[in-house]
Each structure stands twice: as C-alpha cells, then as structure tokens.
Amino acid sequence: MIRFSLLKHLSRFPLILICTLVAIGLLMLYSAANGSLHPWVTKQAWRFGVGCILMMGVAITDSRYWFACAYTLYVVALILLVAVETLGFVGMGAQRWIDLYAFSLQPSELMRVGLVLALARYFHGCSLADVAHLRALVVPGLMILFPTLLVMRQPDLGTALLLVLSSAALFFVVGVKIWKFAVAAGVTLSCIPVLWSFLHTYQQQRILTFLNPESDPMKSGYHVTQSKIALGSGGVFGKGFLQGSQSHLNFLPEKQTDFIFTMYSEEFGLVGAIILVVLYALLIAFNFNVALNARTQFGRLVAIGLTTTFFLYAFINMAMVMGFLPVVGIPLPFISYGGTALITLLVSQGLIFSIDLHKDIRVRR
C-alpha cells in the first residue's frame, strides 16, 4: 500500500507554500523571543521536521488504507478525548492536553482529522436519495455531537466550532437540503440560553466584550484592544523585523500563539498581511482543486473537509485578532507555536496529497 516512487509525483507548489508559511512562523517566533532561538524556534523546527516525515508517509499510503482505518481513527480520538477528562493536565485555564513525557498531546486536534475521515467514509456509502431521509443523518449527527460536547467541556469553544462547521461543509456537499441547515440553526439559536449557562464565566465575558469592546478594556477586552493598537501601528509597510513595540514591550498577550498574526502585521504592515492571505488562498485553492478532481466520494469529501478546516483556522484567527469575532483560541495554521496543531495540519495535507496521488484508485462502497 506504500509506494515510495510516488514521492517524485508530489506537487512542489503546495510544498513551497507550506515551507514559506512555516518559515514565516519561525521568523515570528524568533522575534517573539526578542531575537532568540529559545524557547520556541528550535522546538517548532523539530516538530516541523517530524511533521514533514509524517506528511510524506501519509501521502504515499494508498487512500484505501485511510478508508479502512477511518472509523478506527475516529474511535481512538474519541477515547483520547474521554481520557483528557481524567488524565489531562490544566494549562492556560483549560484541560486539553495529555502529558506523554516526550510531548503534550492535544486529542481535539486528532479528532479534527478523525471526524472528517469517519464522516467521509459514512457518506461514501450513501446515495443522494439516502441523505434525503433524516434517519440517514442520525448516525453522522451523533458522530459530531459526542466529540463536540467533550471538547466544549475542556473548555475549547474554538475547536468545537471548527468540528461543527467543517462537518457542516460535508453535509452540504453530499446534498443535504438547505432547509435542514435552517432548522438545525433555528434549534441551536433556541438553545442559546441553555448553552450560555454551560459556558465558563471567562467565555461569557469574552462574548460580552465582543458585543461591547469598550466595556472592559483593561481586563476581558485587553487582548483585543492591544491587538487592534498593534495592527494599526504597523501601518502599510510595518515597523520592521524585531521592531514591533506593542509585542516587544509585552503589551500584546499570547504573541507566539493565537495573536502571532498581530505581531506579524505590526512588523510587516498591511503589505505583509496581504502576502500572508495570498499564500493561504493559493494553498486552499490547490486543495479544493484536488477535491474537484477526486474520482471517489470518499476522496472528494476528505479533501473538502480538511481544506474547509484550513480555511476556518485562518479566517477565524485573523477575524478574532481584528475584533470581528470573539476570542476563541484558534491558532494561525503553520505559523502559531504548538506541536499537535502543526503536526495534524501537516498530516491533513498528507491526506490531501494521498487523495491526489491515488485519484484513479476505486474505493469500494
């Protein structure tokens, strides 16, 4: 099932885009550490090396293997999410990671990939007539519900949102009628008072601050207020590498993770931000093209589901730091510091490569 000869057929264009994005991320981590390789650059570079090996391995593995393993990977990720409840450790106010001594594992990131694979396998065996019946949507609905509730308990509202939205994209592609999305949205809106009571106090405060940004600029609104100041101070061309005053004077919180786009824009300005958006757009366009050329339903759904996740990661992070969305803790793909997120993104890209390299292979229903 593994053919090393396929490596020479890998498209160089997305590889160059990913390496460029990661290089920008390493530069910004170097800047965030005030011109030092420690504590972030060296670790992130090692993770990128490991992630690249995994990406290549996943890419040259027959897509039928991923079809066969889809449900198993989903169940393993679900078990790990349950394990977080008892074995996970608390960091930055949330219980999201399991300490494996050599590294910390964030199971919600694994579930992001496992859920797309499992839904793609389920819908691969469904016809358009099948998905027209509500009973055909019960099983995939439960497949989304269980991990989403577990992720919200950690709490990780951003990743829970990603799971729901990337799954909704698959429902749309397989032909679920629009009115069913409207009904689901209506039910969700009617449950807002109940859902609100389950949110942590700081999550409620973040949403209230988003609706009224000036209400508490020194506490709950501090992150976004400082982010907007840094973004505006960058101007058109930025202040220059290592010259961002808001970030280097420590006014900007979480500058190596969720708010790294703000630091980048402060140092490289509007022009740098546009270049970054273009890089993401080109990578997403390549991946959507893979989905359009896939000759199996499984391949098409996997490529669309994972590409939608890439888009949501970038869009939500940038909108969040600009104050257009509440702060929900979504990293900037390939750039923010974080091992599990970087490696799962590279594995996701490896799956898309696998769909592209094996597009002529039939997958049984």
**Interval 12-30: pLDDT, tens:** 999 999 999 999 999 999 9
Mean pLDDT value across residues 174-190: 88
* Residue 166 tokens, joined: 């990337």
* Residue 65 tokens, joined: 């293997």
Predicted pLDDT at 337: 94
* Residue 161 tokens, joined: 């949102």
Predicted pLDDT at 89: 74
Of all residues in the chain, the percent with pLDDT exceeding 90 is 60
Mean pLDDT of the chain: 90
Mean pLDDT value across residues 262-279: 96
Burial category of 41 from C-beta neighbours within 10 Å (exposed 0-12, middle 13-18, buried 19 and up): buried
pLDDT for residue 216 is more than 90: no
Q: Residue 230 and residue 154: Cα distance in Å, rounded? A: 30
Tallying the residues shown for the chain, one arrives at 365
Kindly list the distances between the CA atom of residue 131 and the CA atoms of 141, 149, 159, 247, 299, in Å, as whole numbers in the listed order: 12, 24, 26, 50, 18
- The dihedral over CA atoms of 60, 63, 68, 74, expressed in degrees to the nearest 10, equals 80
Q: Is the peptide bond before 39 cis (omega within 30 degrees of 0)?
A: yes
Q: How many CA atoms lie within 13 A of 347 on its CB side?
A: 18
pLDDT tens readout for residues 119-140: 999 999 888 888 888 889 999 9
Predicted pLDDT at 27: 96
Predicted pLDDT at 206: 75
Contact present, 329 and 35 (Cβ < 8 Å) = no
pLDDT for residue 322 is more than 80: yes
Rg (CA), the chain: 21
Q: Residue 212 and residue 206: Cα distance in Å, rounded? A: 10
Predicted pLDDT at 189: 83
Q: Is the pTM of this model over 0.85?
A: yes
Predicted pLDDT at 92: 65
- In single-letter form, the type of residue at position 88 comes to G
